Amino acid sequence: MGKNVLDIIKAEFHLRVIEESLARIEQCLDSLSLEEIWYKHNVNTNSVGNLVLHLSGNIRQYIIAGVGGAADTRVRDKEFQNGYSFSSDELVTKLTTTLYDANETVSRVTLEQLTEEVTIQGFPHTRISAILHVIEHLSYHVGQITFYTKYVKDIDTAYYGGMDLDITS
Per residue in 24-37, pLDDT tens? 999 999 999 999 99
pLDDT tens sequence across 79-89: 999 999 999 99
Contact predicate 55/152, CB 8 Å: no
Helical H runs in 16-162? 23-31, 34-37, 48-59, 88-107, 127-153
Q: What is the CATH number of domain 2-153?
A: 1.20.120.450
Say if pTM beats, i.e. exceeds, 0.85.
yes
Q: To the nearest 10°, the Cα dihedral for 120, 125, 129, 131?
A: 30
